[in-house]
Chains A and B, each alone.
Chain A
Amino acid sequence: MAGFETAAAGTGVRKGTGKVGGGLSQIVVFKLADESYGVSIHLVREINALQPITSVPHTPDFIEGVTNLRGKVIPVLDLRKRLGLPAENGRDTRIMVVEHRQETIGMIVDAVSEVLTVDPAAVEPPSPYVVSVDTEYITGILKLEDRLVILLDLTRVLNPGEEESLQQFAQDQTTGVENAQEGA
Chain B
Amino acid sequence: MGTPIDRDLPSSSSASSTSSPSASSSPSTPSTPSSPSPLRPPSPSGASAASSDAQGSTTSDQLEITPEEFQLFVEEGEEQLQDIEDLLLSLEAGQSSPDGINRLFRAAHTLKGNSATVGFHQMASLTHALESLFDQARKGQLLLQGNKEVMDLLLRTLDTLRGLLDTGVQQGGREVPDPSVAQLELELKAATTAQTLGPGTASGTGAAETDPAGMAAPSGPAQTPDSTDDSNAARADWKLQVQLRPDCGLPAVRIYQLFTRAVEWGQVLATDPTADTVEQLIASDDNDDRDAVWRQQPVHVWLRTSLPPARLQQAVQEIPEIASVQVEPSAAPIATPPTSATSATSATSATQATQAGQAGSAPPAAPDALPAATSGTTPSAAGVSDIAPSQPRAPSSSGSGSRSAAAVEASTIRVNVQWLDLLMNLVGELVIDRNRLLLLSSQQGHKHEEGNGQGHWNHANATGDDEISQLAAHLSRLTGDLQDAVMQLRMVPIDSLFRKLPRVVRETARLLGKKIRLEITGNDTQLDRSLIEELHDPVLHLLRNAVDHGIEDEATRLAAGKPAEGLVHVGAYHREGHFYLEVSDDGGGISREKIRQVAIARGDLSPEAAQQWSDADLLRLLFRPGFSTRTKVTEVSGRGVGLDVVGRAVEHLGGTVDVHSEEGKGTTFRIRLPLTLAIVRALLVSVGGVVCAIPLNSVMEAVEPEVSALQMVNGRPVLRHRDDILPLFALHGLWETTPPAEHQVRSSLYQVPTVIVQIGDEQLALQVDALLGEEEVVVKPFGKFLGQIPGLAGTTLLGDGRVALILDVPGLFAEVRTNASYLTV
Residues from chain B with a CB closer than 8 A to the CB of A100 are 785
Q: Which of B537, B787, B790, B796 has most A Cβ within 10 Å? A: B787
Contacting residue for A71 out of B166, B429, B782, B786, CB 8 A: B429
Judge if A105 is at the interface, Cβ distance under 8 Å. Answer: yes
Residues from chain B with a CB closer than 8 A to the CB of A151 are none
Known A56-B786, A105-B785; judge A68-B791 contact (CB<8 A). Answer: no
Residues from chain A with a CB closer than 8 A to the CB of B690 are 54-55
**Which residue on A lies nearest to B790, using beta carbons?**
A58
Once bound together, how far apart are the Cα atoms of A100 and B785, in whole Å? Answer: 9
Judge if B713 is at the interface, Cβ distance under 8 Å. Answer: no
**Which residue on A lies nearest to B432, using beta carbons?**
A71
One of A13-21, A22-30, A59-67 at the interface:
A59-67
Tell me whether B803 and A68 are in contact (CB under 8 A): yes
Tell me whether A160 and B789 are in contact (CB under 8 A): no
Tell me whether B163 and A183 are in contact (CB under 8 A): yes
Judge if B792 is at the interface, Cβ distance under 8 Å. Answer: yes
**B795 shortest CB reach to chain A, Å:** 5
Residues from chain A with a CB closer than 8 A to the CB of B787 are 160, 164, 167
Chain A contact residues: helix, strand, loop or mixed: mixed
Residues from chain B with a CB closer than 8 A to the CB of A83 are none
Residues from chain A with a CB closer than 8 A to the CB of B780 are 73
Tell me whether A75 and B782 are in contact (CB under 8 A): yes
Contacting residue for A66 out of B170, B429, B790, B795, CB 8 A: B795
**B182 shortest CB reach to chain A, Å:** 20
Known A68-B802, A75-B785, A158-B785; judge A57-B795 contact (CB<8 A). Answer: no
Known A55-B735, A56-B786, A158-B785; judge A71-B797 contact (CB<8 A). Answer: yes
Once bound together, how far apart are the Cα atoms of A55 and B686, in whole Å? Answer: 12
Q: Which of B170, B784, B785, B805 has most A Cβ within 10 Å? A: B785
Residues from chain A with a CB closer than 8 A to the CB of B734 are 57-58
> What sequence of 0s and 1s flags, for each residue 85-101 of chain A, a beta carbon within 8 Å of any chain B beta carbon?
00000000000000011
> What sequence of 0s and 1s flags, for each residue 458-488 of chain B, a beta carbon within 8 Å of any chain A beta carbon?
0000000000000000000000000000000
Contacts of B771-788 to chain A: CB distance below 8 A: 780, 782-787
Residues from chain A with a CB closer than 8 A to the CB of B802 are 52, 54, 68
**A171 shortest CB reach to chain B, Å:** 10
Tell me whether A54 and B805 are in contact (CB under 8 A): yes
Judge if B453 is at the interface, Cβ distance under 8 Å. Answer: no
Judge if B679 is at the interface, Cβ distance under 8 Å. Answer: no
**A183 shortest CB reach to chain B, Å:** 7
**A126 shortest CB reach to chain B, Å:** 25
Once bound together, how far apart are the Cα atoms of A103 and B795, in whole Å? Answer: 16
Residues from chain A with a CB closer than 8 A to the CB of B783 are 74-75, 103
Contacting residue for A56 out of B163, B170, B789, B801, CB 8 A: B789
Residues from chain B with a CB closer than 8 A to the CB of A67 are 803
Tell me whether A160 and B792 are in contact (CB under 8 A): no
Tell me whether B429 and A58 are in contact (CB under 8 A): no
Chain B contact residues: helix, strand, loop or mixed: mixed
Once bound together, how far apart are the Cα atoms of A58 and B732, in whole Å? Answer: 12
Residues from chain A with a CB closer than 8 A to the CB of B785 are 75, 100-101, 103, 105, 158, 160
Residues from chain A with a CB closer than 8 A to the CB of B432 are 71
**Which residue on B lies nearest to A67, using beta carbons?**
B803
Judge if B804 is at the interface, Cβ distance under 8 Å. Answer: yes
Tell me whether A68 and B786 are in contact (CB under 8 A): no
Contacting residue for A59 out of B163, B784, B786, B796, CB 8 A: B786
Size bin of chain B's contact surface: 20 to 34
**Which residue on B lies nearest to A69, using beta carbons?**
B803
Once bound together, how far apart are the Cα atoms of A5 and B734, in whole Å? Answer: 32
Known A52-B802, A55-B735; judge A68-B797 contact (CB<8 A). Answer: yes
**Which residue on A lies nearest to B734, using beta carbons?**
A57
Q: Which of B163, B797, B805 has most A Cβ within 10 Å? A: B805
**Which residue on B lies nearest to A61, using beta carbons?**
B737
Residues from chain A with a CB closer than 8 A to the CB of B691 are 54
Tell me whether B163 and A58 are in contact (CB under 8 A): no
Tell me whether A183 and B790 are in contact (CB under 8 A): no
Tell me whether A101 and B797 are in contact (CB under 8 A): no
**B158 shortest CB reach to chain A, Å:** 13
Known A55-B735, A75-B783, A183-B166; judge A68-B801 contact (CB<8 A). Answer: yes
Residues from chain B with a CB closer than 8 A to the CB of A75 are 782-783, 785-786
Residues from chain B with a CB closer than 8 A to the CB of A178 are 537
**Which residue on B lies nearest to A105, using beta carbons?**
B785
Tell me whether A57 and B791 are in contact (CB under 8 A): yes
Tell me whether A103 and B797 are in contact (CB under 8 A): no
**Which residue on B lies nearest to A55, using beta carbons?**
B690
**Which residue on A lies nearest to B786, using beta carbons?**
A75
Tell me whether A63 and B786 are in contact (CB under 8 A): yes
Tell me whether B163 and A54 are in contact (CB under 8 A): no
Once bound together, how far apart are the Cα atoms of A76 and B166, in whole Å? Answer: 40
Residues from chain B with a CB closer than 8 A to the CB of A58 are 734, 789-792
Tell me whether A73 and B789 are in contact (CB under 8 A): no
Residues from chain A with a CB closer than 8 A to the CB of B792 are 56-58
**Which residue on A lies nearest to B733, using beta carbons?**
A57
Once bound together, how far apart are the Cα atoms of A173 and B495, in whole Å? Answer: 28
Tell me whether B790 and A54 are in contact (CB under 8 A): no
Contacts of B554-608 to chain A: CB distance below 8 A: none
Residues from chain A with a CB closer than 8 A to the CB of B805 are 54, 56
> What sequence of 0s and 1s flags, for each residue 22-40 of chain B, a beta carbon within 8 Å of any chain A beta carbon?
0000000000000000000
Tell me whether B789 and A59 are in contact (CB under 8 A): yes
Once bound together, how far apart are the Cα atoms of A178 and B537, in whole Å? Answer: 10
Residues from chain B with a CB closer than 8 A to the CB of A183 are 163, 166
Residues from chain A with a CB closer than 8 A to the CB of B797 are 68, 71, 73
Contacts of B530-572 to chain A: CB distance below 8 A: 537
**A63 shortest CB reach to chain B, Å:** 7
Tell me whether B789 and A54 are in contact (CB under 8 A): no
Once bound together, how far apart are the Cα atoms of A158 and B764, in whole Å? Answer: 36
Tell me whether A73 and B795 are in contact (CB under 8 A): yes
Once bound together, how far apart are the Cα atoms of A74 and B804, in whole Å? Answer: 12
**Which residue on B lies nearest to A104, using beta carbons?**
B783
Once bound together, how far apart are the Cα atoms of A8 and B804, in whole Å? Answer: 28
**B330 shortest CB reach to chain A, Å:** 48
Once bound together, how far apart are the Cα atoms of A55 and B735, in whole Å? Answer: 8
Once bound together, how far apart are the Cα atoms of A118 and B524, in whole Å? Answer: 62
Known A54-B690, A56-B789, A56-B792; judge A101-B803 contact (CB<8 A). Answer: no
Once bound together, how far apart are the Cα atoms of A100 and B783, in whole Å? Answer: 11
Residues from chain B with a CB closer than 8 A to the CB of A52 are 802
**B67 shortest CB reach to chain A, Å:** 15
Once bound together, how far apart are the Cα atoms of A3 and B780, in whole Å? Answer: 24
Once bound together, how far apart are the Cα atoms of A167 and B805, in whole Å? Answer: 24
Contacts of A96-150 to chain B: CB distance below 8 A: 100-101, 103, 105
Known A71-B429, A183-B166; judge A54-B784 contact (CB<8 A). Answer: no
Known A75-B785, A103-B783, A105-B785; judge A54-B803 contact (CB<8 A). Answer: yes
Contacts of A28-84 to chain B: CB distance below 8 A: 52, 54-59, 63, 65-68, 71, 73-75
Once bound together, how far apart are the Cα atoms of A103 and B780, in whole Å? Answer: 14
Contacts of B437-472 to chain A: CB distance below 8 A: none
> What sequence of 0s and 1s flags, for each residue 171-185 of chain B, a beta carbon within 8 Å of any chain A beta carbon?
000000000000000
Tell me whether B789 and A57 are in contact (CB under 8 A): yes
Once bound together, how far apart are the Cα atoms of A167 and B803, in whole Å? Answer: 27
**Which residue on B lies nearest to A66, using beta carbons?**
B803
**Which residue on A lies nearest to B735, using beta carbons?**
A57
B residues in contact (CB < 8 Å) with A: 163, 166, 170, 429, 432, 537, 690-691, 734-735, 780, 782-787, 789-792, 795-797, 801-805
Residue contacts A-B, CB under 8 angstroms, 9 given: A56-B805, A57-B792, A65-B803, A73-B796, A75-B782, A100-B785, A101-B784, A103-B783, A103-B785
A residues in contact (CB < 8 Å) with B: 3, 8, 52, 54-59, 63, 65-68, 71, 73-75, 100-101, 103, 105, 158, 160, 164, 167, 178, 183
Task: Please name 10 further chain A to chain B contacts, defined as beta carbons within 8 Å, in addition to the given A58-B790, A178-B537, A183-B163, sorted by A numbering.
Answer: A57-B791, A58-B792, A68-B802, A73-B780, A74-B783, A101-B784, A101-B785, A103-B783, A103-B784, A105-B785
Ranked nearest first, the 4 interchain pairs of A and B with the lowest CB-CB distance are A57-B734, A54-B803, A57-B735, A73-B795
